[in-house]
Structure 1
Amino acid sequence: MSHELLTSAEMGEADRLTIAAGPIDGIGLMRRAGQAVATEVLSRYPSAAHVHVLCGPGNNGGDGYVVARILAGSGVATTVWTSGPPRPDSDAALAAAECPIKPRPLSDFDAGPCSIVVDALYGAGLSKPLSGEAARAVDLAAKLHLPVVAVDLPSGISGDSGKVLGTSFSADLTVTFARKKPGHLLLPGRERCGEVVLAGIGIGDDVIARLQPQTFENGPALWSRGLPVPAVDAHKYKRGHVGVFSGGPSATGAARLSALAAARSGAGAVTVLSPGNAMQVNAAHLTSIMLRKADDAADIEAFVGERRLSAFVLGPGFGIGEKTRAFALVLLASGKPAAASTGIGGLVFDADAITSFREAPDILFEAARGPGAPALVMTPHEGEFARLFADIADDNVSSKLDKARAAAARANAVIVYKGADTVIAAPDGRAAINSNGAAWLATAGSGDVLSGITAGLLAQGMLAFEAACAAVWIHAEAGSRFGPGLIAEDLPLAIVPVLRDLVAAGGGR
């Protein structure tokens, strides 16, 4: 399994453990890494007139010396440019000694047309802004529109945050080793990496398991075992019952989108909980989805007491203010939802449910920690995140991954920090970065559908972190497959073939 993501420190530890276990030593790992990069260069750029290998003083540069040696041995015109010699007696020094090409100073770097650049300057371990001769090399490669193959990560990109440190190469291809890093998936790093190839160099899955990584690339490998598939004897309430709160007469559409998405994702029953003055509007648009009046907290308490509710969605189109806060707190204090067969269920708070607590977020967080409080999933976009977690959002040093984790711990909730690089974080420290996002999803109502999918999976007994991860991936995959012309109304039906393929591939329990 390769869905784990490793920080730069974890990758260094993986190298150390592999070398300690033998028989591969440090230079052996370096040779394998360089061979993997050289193989990609030779297969993808067979007509390159010249390859310029830029080598830093560390292990990334050592990989570069191996690349240059192999390319030169294959008859490719190759020049090595170095920002400094490797440390004596290091693996990189051994690799440099094995390379027959005399390096030239990076400060003199120049290139002609039909050349390519192999960036082996700094990789994932860079901790300070790229500057000086390295920044000049970046500018020259961009000015000449040279294809760039990056070793591990484009120099100038943080492996842990995906942030640009000063400036960075924009690679056409990035070859990394054993496992990807967060910087391969978080923006803007993801855009600067180009295509990412993951190469095995002898670091075993057993070594990765010893590290106990807590960060993952979101995908079916992470959650497909828990994907709900109804049993032969299932009836509708065994498949879970979702309640979705509707706004007033002019703001009912968002709730219906969530409700339909919950139903399409497999919930056996869905009820729209509507203000009395919006009942007729909602009734005119609902067929298989049930409808019930809910004007105040007493109505919600009665409904929860009467029906076996497994999950709720609160926020889409509901309105901001005291009523929303009251409903949220009633749900968190209810000791429900709880799926009858598993005792697992949850709440999904989005949009107005999040914004309603911007003046008093601690009230929400305290309620989420209350005895018997159901699992809570919150799905903020960047603006909503800042309203609830202002100090975390204002931290310019932390990555999006760090911010999502901090918010999840504070709120005792699964946080779906939405965007092109959506991060899903759990209170226990686990986090996943989504990588299949689609620009077509940037359309009004798309987030309402995501909330409904999440609630539908929660209602069927999926655990909160896994349900949120699955919902984000399924939502994005449906958007990608649909493509141009997508509007939110298309999404609930568009998730059906995605779910069908997941079940056919062996997902589910």
Structure 2
Amino acid sequence: MTFTTRHALIDPIAMNRIDTAAEKSGISIASLMERAGQAVAASALKHYPQAIRYVALCGIGKNGGDGFVAARALLESSADVAVYVFGDVAKLKGVAKQAFDALEISSEPLDHYRPQAGDVVIDAIFGAGLSRDVPDGVDAVIDRVETAGIPVIAIDLPSGLCGRRGVPLGRAFHSQVTVTFMARKPGHVLMPGRTLCGSVEVFDIGIPHRILREYCGLIVENHPAQWMDAFSKRDEDTHKFKRGHLTVFSGPSHATGAARMAAIAGFRAGAGIVTIAAPHEAIPVLSTTLTAVMVSAMDSEEQLLAWRDDKRHGTYVLGPGFGDVEKARGFVSLLKDKALVLDADGITAFRDRPQQLFDLFASDAPRILTPHEGEFGRLFPEIAADSNLSKVEKAQAAAALSNAVIVYKGADTVIAAPDGRAAVNANAPSYLATAGSGDVLAGIAGGFLAQHVPAFEAAAAAVWLHGKIARELGPGMTAEDLAAAVRPFQP
């Protein structure tokens, strides 16, 4: 994946290592804190110039130091500023103490703060430096601020929000603006953290990018910059077989809609040929509802063997509307060395025997699994039950266990590869949660796989395109609208 600070997601532990490395390289931590605090003050003045009073709620760590600098900068701009501190100011040390000592106003204990009309809160209590539930005193202040409807600008992360998992540690501020530095953290984009952070602004405070690149890890926000190079340019002499033959399996005659949407999406995503393989009794329904998509009867494993052994048939989507779980298991066993998107009923078929699926996936064939929350929990019960893991870490563990690319669906869909790469998708609107949209996603991913796009890049691109199309269509769109609007990428 290409490293850019715009798309990198750096967890709090890695960010601490980056700070340490920056200091060892000779960069003054005091200068970094000064730039950070000044950036927060600038953001506060930009977003809330009408504020009657800016209230800095500060801890006694580095996040609090950023808050003290911001308070001083706001005072220097002639704003009315109040400072409240959580903890014993006598325990302040290092650059945070220097920032506190530079204030020209006195502070009060945090529990003395009572919101007033016209206040804007600058939350500098914990940032990413919290690993336990918020203390009662902070919980009470959060409650008072929310009850009074006071806008909040959070420094780094809303206090109480886990920067790694994106979940509240008991309770967290709900900020309108979050100001962070150099790069975002997973907690900024994972749900519900994305909602709690409001609008996230990232400021470059001067840490060299070579240091960020060394410690950044393998997690990014999903974006074309990460995978567009995997899509080859169209050759002038290309033909349909060069663009791949995608086979989508259908269920019985009363349940062909899911396969049809997946097939159409795969075709529009750029596959050269798409065939729906269906039970013989479903052929009349499919033949009267499809034109460019071909139809082939397939009732038995013997018929699939003959189809599979034709080298032109290299990529498959199995699951949408399939229905027969025993048949699904048999078909997957025959496709264990083929490019495969396993979705819906294809995943459900292994809910009681996940190890059988993982054993089938022992080879390095390109494979994508697309579970939603419930399917993920049934296929990976121990991973799903570990509350200490973030959604990203769960997807990474599942990918390593299954030897497949995982698309862990939801408002914050995570795409993870067995080698540890992961991308969090943030462009999907809430109205994408509609019947059939997952079938379309499976078809897009299959269409990309058919064109020999590597599995991780195919999955990440499919998820991003899926969200992009939904945004363009707007509220009220249906899965049929999605499938009809799919278009291939043009590098």
Letter in 2 for 1:174: T
More moved, 485-494 vs 81-90: 81-90
Taking the aligned partners of 1:437 and 1:41, their CA distance within structure 2 comes to: 29
1:350 paired to 2:343: yes
Partner of 2:61: 58
User: Which structure 2 residue ranges, 5 or more long, are not aligned?
Assistant: none
Partner of 1:400: 391
Letter in 2 for 1:294: M
Match of 2:25 among 10, 21, 24: 21
1:160-183 per-position Cα deviation (integer Å, ceiling 9, x unaligned): 000110111000000111110000
1:465 paired to 2:456: yes
1:214-242 per-position Cα deviation (integer Å, ceiling 9, x unaligned): 11111111111112442111101101111
Letter in 2 for 1:76: A
Partner of 1:10: 14
Match of 2:469 among 456, 478, 482: 478
TM-aligned CA deviation for residue 481 of structure 1? 1.2
Taking the aligned partners of 1:474 and 1:93, their CA distance within structure 2 comes to: 48
Does the C-alpha gap of structure 1 residues 387 and 320 become closer, same or farther in structure 2, counting only changes over 3 Å? farther
1:32 paired to 2:35: yes
Matched residue pairs, number?
A: 486
Taking the aligned partners of 2:427 and 2:126, their CA distance within structure 1 comes to: 27
Letter in 2 for 1:432: A
More moved, 146-155 vs 390-399: 390-399
RMSD: 1.3
1:142 paired to 2:150: no
1:425-466 per-position Cα deviation (integer Å, ceiling 9, x unaligned): 111111111111111211111000000000111111111111
1:330 paired to 2:334: yes
Residues 478 and 494 in structure 1, CA contact (< 8 A), matched pair in contact too: yes
Partner of 1:76: 79
TM-aligned CA deviation for residue 212 of structure 1? 4.8
1:231 paired to 2:222: no
Residues 121 and 150 in structure 2, CA contact (< 8 A), matched pair in contact too: yes
Partner of 1:343: none
TM-aligned CA deviation for residue 396 of structure 1? 2.3
TM-aligned CA deviation for residue 401 of structure 1? 1.3
Residues 118 and 150 in structure 1, CA contact (< 8 A), matched pair in contact too: yes
Match of 1:454 among 445, 458, 479: 445
1:108-149 per-position Cα deviation (integer Å, ceiling 9, x unaligned): 111210110000000112101112221111011101100000
Partner of 2:293: 289
Match of 1:108 among 105, 112, 129: 112
TM-aligned CA deviation for residue 403 of structure 1? 1.2
Taking the aligned partners of 1:153 and 1:212, their CA distance within structure 2 comes to: 18
Taking the aligned partners of 1:310 and 1:479, their CA distance within structure 2 comes to: 29
SS where residue 227 of structure 2 aligns? helix
More moved, 487-496 vs 379-388: 487-496
Does the C-alpha gap of structure 1 residues 67 and 215 become closer, same or farther in structure 2, counting only changes over 3 Å? same
More moved, 322-331 vs 306-315: 306-315
Taking the aligned partners of 1:87 and 1:459, their CA distance within structure 2 comes to: 61
Taking the aligned partners of 2:484 and 2:255, their CA distance within structure 1 comes to: 22
Residues 377 and 413 in structure 1, CA contact (< 8 A), matched pair in contact too: yes
Taking the aligned partners of 2:106 and 2:208, their CA distance within structure 1 comes to: 35
Residues 58 and 86 in structure 1, CA contact (< 8 A), matched pair in contact too: no
1:390 paired to 2:381: yes
Taking the aligned partners of 2:137 and 2:53, their CA distance within structure 1 comes to: 21
Taking the aligned partners of 1:419 and 1:204, their CA distance within structure 2 comes to: 35
1:245-281 per-position Cα deviation (integer Å, ceiling 9, x unaligned): 0000101110010000001111111111111111111
1:487 paired to 2:490: no
SS where residue 229 of structure 2 aligns? helix
Letter in 2 for 1:375: P
Partner of 1:118: 122
Taking the aligned partners of 1:45 and 1:86, their CA distance within structure 2 comes to: 32
Taking the aligned partners of 2:356 and 2:426, their CA distance within structure 1 comes to: 33
Taking the aligned partners of 1:244 and 1:192, their CA distance within structure 2 comes to: 40
Partner of 1:341: none
Partner of 2:45: 42
Sequence identity percentage: 46
Does the C-alpha gap of structure 1 residues 212 and 310 become closer, same or farther in structure 2, counting only changes over 3 Å? farther
TM-score (norm 1): 0.93
Residues 310 and 458 in structure 1, CA contact (< 8 A), matched pair in contact too: no
Letter in 2 for 1:51: Y
Does the C-alpha gap of structure 1 residues 89 and 112 become closer, same or farther in structure 2, counting only changes over 3 Å? closer
Match of 2:224 among 206, 220, 224: 220
Taking the aligned partners of 2:201 and 2:423, their CA distance within structure 1 comes to: 19
Partner of 1:180: 184
SS where residue 4 of structure 1 aligns? coil
Partner of 2:206: 202
SS where residue 166 of structure 2 aligns? coil
1:56-98 per-position Cα deviation (integer Å, ceiling 9, x unaligned): 0111000000000000010110001001227454111111112
SS where residue 149 of structure 1 aligns? strand
Match of 1:445 among 436, 454, 478: 436
Taking the aligned partners of 2:176 and 2:366, their CA distance within structure 1 comes to: 42
Taking the aligned partners of 1:310 and 1:31, their CA distance within structure 2 comes to: 57
Partner of 2:265: 261
Taking the aligned partners of 2:163 and 2:344, their CA distance within structure 1 comes to: 32
SS where residue 267 of structure 1 aligns? coil
SS where residue 420 of structure 1 aligns? coil
Residues 163 and 187 in structure 1, CA contact (< 8 A), matched pair in contact too: yes
Taking the aligned partners of 2:234 and 2:314, their CA distance within structure 1 comes to: 15
